[in-house]
């Protein structure tokens, strides 16, 4: 039996609780890619343990169109793992990653493809502005500013997660399946020729974002511990400041002791130990623990994702 022809483009869509938007997304993706050369695009949906009926909707879409590939992960592994799962199974000469919530316009894909054909190997659709509530925009703005300031100076100011990658970039990413990392940081770390296409991110049409505060904190920690020594350097600086303040206050306590204003025995020594040692040790130990735990996870070499089942996925 002859193998299926390779698609002209692979589109990877991580899915988590997006049943309401999947039908419209697929239709807009088809219209946006209507002018691509035959046999057209391959659309890979990765169900990252969705709590709703996303997999049922995807199954019906895949039954009606063999170019729609569905990969269901065994549980929720997180957005980075879902994207990596889709990219790892992509067959096209270029791979486009887009969210399933319709905030990123599929109509921008032809422009990303055009920039790729001009020679760019990483084409980033960078957010110029976003129509989101303030409490959603603020954490993202802080993260992007810090990541741009302390990790990659040329990281897009508005961030990006809508991107087109050349096959060479995809193959490089498949050789670095890190467990607790930041996928788009990995893309930036690889280098290659880059291009930026600015766009305005739309408001979410339905549902609520799955990015809870706890998920955002983990995302922040993963990104910085994967690509920067900033947390360790910050711990050293904080320890130095706290130690300096502790010694200064210890001098005040000692002066008051010698002046007879502190009659209790042992109070001075106790305050010095608590202020100078305990707080600094706990802070530094916690930060080092974050790095050590992530190193342990990488040494265990557990896969970053586990595929439970798939639909229309060609044999390797």
The pTM score is 0.72
The answer on 267 and 181 residing in a single domain is no
pLDDT tens sequence across 270-281: 666 676 666 667
The answer on 278 and 165 residing in a single domain is no
The answer on 290 and 178 residing in a single domain is no
The answer on 107 and 172 residing in a single domain is yes
Q: Helix, strand, or coil here: 44? A: strand
Is residue 218, in this structure, part of any structural domain at all? no
The answer on 278 and 201 residing in a single domain is no
Is residue 112, in this structure, part of any structural domain at all? yes
CA angle, 308 then 297 then 75, to 5°: 20
Is residue 105, in this structure, part of any structural domain at all? yes
pLDDT score, position 266: 59
Is residue 205, in this structure, part of any structural domain at all? yes
Q: Helix, strand, or coil here: 89? A: coil
Residue 97: which pLDDT band, with cuts at 50, 70 and 90?
Answer: very high
Q: Is 165 exposed, middle or buried (0-12, 13-18, 19+ CB in 10 A)?
A: buried
Number of domains comprising the chain? 2
What's the token pair of residue 118? Answer: 């001009």
- Is residue 21 scored above 50 in pLDDT? yes
Helix 167-174 and helix 183-190, axial crossing angle in degrees, nearest 10: 120
Q: What percent of the chain has pLDDT over 90?
A: 13
Is residue 176, in this structure, part of any structural domain at all? yes
- Is residue 2 scored above 60 in pLDDT? no
Are the C-beta atoms of 72 and 307 separated by less than 8 Å? Answer: yes
Are the C-beta atoms of 87 and 12 separated by less than 8 Å? Answer: yes
The answer on 281 and 133 residing in a single domain is no
Could you identify the residue written with the tokens 């970053």? 304
The answer on 78 and 147 residing in a single domain is yes
**Mean per-residue pLDDT of the chain:** 78
- Domain containing residue 91: 9-211+304-311
């Amino acid at each position: 039996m002859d193998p299926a022809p390779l698609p002209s483009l692979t589109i990877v869509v991580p899915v988590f609780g997006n049943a309401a938007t999947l039908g419209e997304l697929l239709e807009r993706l088809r219209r946006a890619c209507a002018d691509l050369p035959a046999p057209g695009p391959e659309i890979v949906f990765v169900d990252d343990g969705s709590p709703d009926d996303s997999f049922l909707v995807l199954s019906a879409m895949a039954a009606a169109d063999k170019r729609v590939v569905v990969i269901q992960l065994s549980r929720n592994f997180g957005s980075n793992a879902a994207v990596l799962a889709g990219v790892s199974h992509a067959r096209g000469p270029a791979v486009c990653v887009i969210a399933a919530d319709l905030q990123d316009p599929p109509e921008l894909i032809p422009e990303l493809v055009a920039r790729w054909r001009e020679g760019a190997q990483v084409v980033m659709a960078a957010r110029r502005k976003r129509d989101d509530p303030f409490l959603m925009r603020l954490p993202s703005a802080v993260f992007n500013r810090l990541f741009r300031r302390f990790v990659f100076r040329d990281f897009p100011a508005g961030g990006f997660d809508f991107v087109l990658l050349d096959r060479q970039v995809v193959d490089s990413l498949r050789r670095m399946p890190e467990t607790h990392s930041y996928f788009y940081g990995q893309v930036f770390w690889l280098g290659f020729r880059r291009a930026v296409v600015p766009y305005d991110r739309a408001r979410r049409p339905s549902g609520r974002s799955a990015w809870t505060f706890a998920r955002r904190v983990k995302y922040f920690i993963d990104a910085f511990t994967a690509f920067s020594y900033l947390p360790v350097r910050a711990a050293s600086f904080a320890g130095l400041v706290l130690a300096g303040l502790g010694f200064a206050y210890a001098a005040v306590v000692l002066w008051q002791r010698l002046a007879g204003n502190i009659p209790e025995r042992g109070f001075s020594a106790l305050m010095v130990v608590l202020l100078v040692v305990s707080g600094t040790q706990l802070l530094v130990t916690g930060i080092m623990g974050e790095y050590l735990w992530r190193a342990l996870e990488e040494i265990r070499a557990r896969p970053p994702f586990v595929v439970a089942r798939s639909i229309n996925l060609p044999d390797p």
